Structure 1
Amino acid sequence: MTTQIQKAEPTAVSVAKTPTKPEKIPSEGGVLNVFSHGILILWAAMVILPMLWAFMTSFKTNAEIFEAPWALPTKLHFENWSGAWINANFGAFFFNSLIVVGGGVIGTMILGSMAAYVLARFDFKGNRIIYFLFISGMTFPVFLALVPLFFVLKNMGLLSTYQGLIVVYIGYSLPFTVFFLTSFFRTLPTSIAEAALIDGCGHAGTFFRIMLPLARPGLISIGIFNVLGQWNQYLLPLVLNSDRDKFVLTQGLADLVVSQGYAGDWGQLFAGLMIAMLPVLIVYIIFQRQVQAGMTAGAVK
């Protein structure tokens, strides 16, 4: 008797999946994010609110400033700005600052970029010594050099002159410029410079035609820092420039405060303060993307 063995077909067994609980997202990152944003908002308020208050106060009269310092002006008194520009001689001070800072920044950028390029691209005896000498200039307090600078400029006939201030501003800004641009030039590709040299371009042509355009983000970034540092410089012109006709804006502001005392035109004083602040603020707003690109370009090669 033959027995037929029937194979049992496999039956699909439905396995009920137990619902998985959503993983808990660690809250440390969220707390840190909220904390950092809170600090940034607080810092922004500490910077922006005093600036807005100064701008608002520049359109007020003395009576409005003392009676309601936090209120909006009832009328915009543009005569404060015209008085600061003409009567307080801020127009001449502004022009003097443009001459000194313009010459100082241009000289700093030319000399600093050339020195940084050589230190970053060429290996020669004493390279690191020269580099660290520039770095040491960043740690040297400015006020310790005031007396030697005074006598050096006096002996050279450059005391209380545009040329003297420009030379001093260049020397003041070179250490940080060389430090910043040396690190930036090291991140640029060497193959482009080598190709230019093979095609017959000299070192000077390679630098001015190839490497400087590639270093544009870094040049703009350090240029903005130099403009800010030289425009707001007060100690150097105070000691090295005693000619009132050649005062820069920082000296003009200090002179206006001293001359007015407690019975001065405070609306005019705040207008002069805004005249000194607005140029660098506008420059930074226009070039803020280039500044950010230059600060991060050195970290990503």
Structure 2
Amino acid sequence: MSAETTLAGGTTPATDPAADPASDPARRRAPRRRTPAEGRGFSALHHVVLSLWALLVILPLLWTVYTSLKTSREILTDPFGLPEHLQWSNYARAWQEARIGDYFLNTLIVVGAGLVVVMLLGAMCAYVLARFRFPGNRIIYYGMVAGLTFPIFLAVVPLFFVLNNMGLIGGRIGLVGVIMAYVAFALPFTVFFLHSFFTSLPDEIGEAASIDGAGDFRTFFQVMLPMAKPGLASVAIFNFLGMWNQYLLPLVLNTERSNYVLAQGLVNLQAQQGYQVDWGGMFASVVITVIPVLIVYVVFQRQLQGGVGPSTSK
């Protein structure tokens, strides 16, 4: 009998899987490859979108920089024009008369101390949760993760009363309260981020260090911590940016004017513009605030790009 019979005979035409791609499940699942023309079009679209995004970020920054070198009259009469003469005195006036220098020092103290403490505590906590198994391990970890979902503005009022009862509001010691608040709110993110790095490290290295006589602290500080350096650099940059730009916590917890950080100082300076028209000094203050962030990003750009890709599964 022929392979092909009529439908009345109760048989169906024989089909060749190689001749019918739709009948091959593997071929149906395989994604369609882009043609060279489609690939070039997709790449061009990427470049256009990224170029527009870069312009949206760079142009306002450039405008702020050259506006900081103009007089207040030039800023008000021709806000987008170039300065006739570079007014470097705006920076000196902002640093001294507007007290940006004092605010800058306070910010360095708060952010520097907070960053060191949160990185040390966060790395130790993440290492223990990732490498040791004990009752309550996952509860502590998920409790840390849950801390990421807690809004800051819900905690500032009770936090103010707690720190005030401890004597950490007002006076020079008031910066200690701000540092503690920075550490508390940055710790969950630090633990969550570093947990995946310590989980991805091979167990054989820790076992080899233990065989060589290294204790837990020596293994952590001399073996595991250096291996997690990309992750430490990345999370340190994120924490630095968050602490440097923080405004709500200092606004509520840092009530002493002499303790103001840069975010508070800029808002205070802007509020005074209705009485003292010094727009050049204000823009110079903004540039002074932005410069450290740009320096940190440029210096640690490679660590930031290469430190976010380890596997999160052990």
**Same fold, TM-score > 0.5, yes or no:** yes
Give the secondary-structure state (helix, strand or coil) at the position aligned to 2:148: helix
- For 2:49 and 2:136, locate their aligned partners in 1 and report how far apart those are by CA, in whole Å: 45
Instruction: Give the Cα–Cα distance (whole angstroms) in 1 for the partners of residues 298 and 220 of structure 2.
Output: 29
Matched, 1:264 2:277: yes
TM (normalized to structure 1)? 0.89
Which residue pairs with 2:296 in the alignment?
283
Q: Which residue of 2 aligns with 1:76?
A: 86
Q: 1:116 aligns with which of 85, 102, 126?
A: 126
Q: Following the alignment from structure 1 to structure 2, what is the Cα–Cα distance between the partners of residues 64 and 262?
A: 18
Equivalence for 1:218: 231
1:116-195 counterparts in 2 under 5 A?
116-160=126-170, 161-195=174-208
**Residue 232 of structure 1, aligned match among 205, 221, 245:** 245
For normalisation by structure 2, the TM-score amounts to: 0.86
> Which of structure 1's runs of 4+ aligned residues deviate more than 2 A?
24-32, 296-301
Inter-CA distance 299–155: structure 2 relative to 1 (3 Å threshold): closer
Distance 2:258 2:160 in 1: 19
Counterpart amino acid of residue 126 in structure 1: G
SS of residue in 2 equivalent to 1:139: coil
Which of the numbers 31, 40, 47 marks the counterpart of 1:30?
40
Contact 2:199 2:312 in 1 (8 A): no
Residue range with higher mean Cα deviation, 256-265 or 283-292 = 256-265
Match of 1:92 in 2: 102
Deviation at residue 299 of structure 1 after TM alignment: 6.9
Letter in 2 for 1:202: G
Secondary structure of the residue aligned to 2:307 is helix
Aligned residue type for 1:259: Q
Alignment partner of 1:61 is 2:81 = no
Aligned partners of 2:302, 2:313: CA distance in 1, in Å?
A: 16
Q: Shift in Å at residue 262 of structure 1?
A: 6.7
Whether 1:274 aligns to 2:277 is no
Aligned to 1:249: 262
The structural deviation recorded for 1:124 is 1.2
Once the two structures are TM-superposed, the CA of residue 32 in structure 1 deviates from its matched residue by 2.2
Contact 2:196 2:312 in 1 (8 A): no
Q: Mark the CA change 1:49 to 1:300 in structure 2 (over 3 Å): closer, same or farther.
A: farther
Q: Tell me which residue corresponds to 1:52.
A: 62
Counterpart AA for 1:67: T
TM superposition shift of 1:125: 1.2
Following superposition, the deviation at residue 25 of structure 1 comes to: 2.8
Worse overlay, 136-145 or 65-74: 65-74
* Number of corresponding residues: 279
Cα-to-partner distance string for 1:188-219 (whole Å, 9 max, x where unaligned): 12211110001110011000000111111110
CA deviation string 1:207-262 (max 9, x = no partner): 00001111111101000001000000000000001100000000000000011227
User: Structure 1's 90 and 263: CA in aligned 2 closer, same or farther, altered over 3 A?
Assistant: closer
Q: Percent of aligned pairs with the same residue?
A: 55
Cα RMSD for the two superposed structures: 1.7
Which residue of 2 is the match for residue 208 of structure 1?
A: 221
Distance 1:130 1:246, change over 3 A: same
1:106 Cα shift? Answer: 0.3
Q: What is the rounded CA distance, in whole Å, between the counterparts of 2:259 and 2:133 in structure 1? A: 44
Displacement of 1:263 in angstroms is 5.0
Q: Which moved more, 1:259-268 or 1:280-289?
A: 259-268
- Structure ID, larger Rg: 1
CA contact (8 A) 2:103 2:265 kept: yes
Equivalent position amino acid for 2:101 in 1: G
Superposed CA offset, 1:75-114 (max 9, x none): 1101100000000000000000000000110000000000
Whole-Å separation in 1 of the counterparts to 2:94 and 2:294: 19
Q: Which amino acid aligns with 1:137?
A: G
- Which residue number in structure 1 is paired with residue 8 of structure 2? none
The 1-side partners of 2:146 and 2:40 are apart by 41
Whole-angstrom CA distance in 1 between matches of 2:275 and 2:215: 63
Given that 2:199 and 2:313 are in contact with CA atoms closer than 8 Å, whether structure 1 keeps it comes out as no
Q: CA deviation at 1:298?
A: 4.2
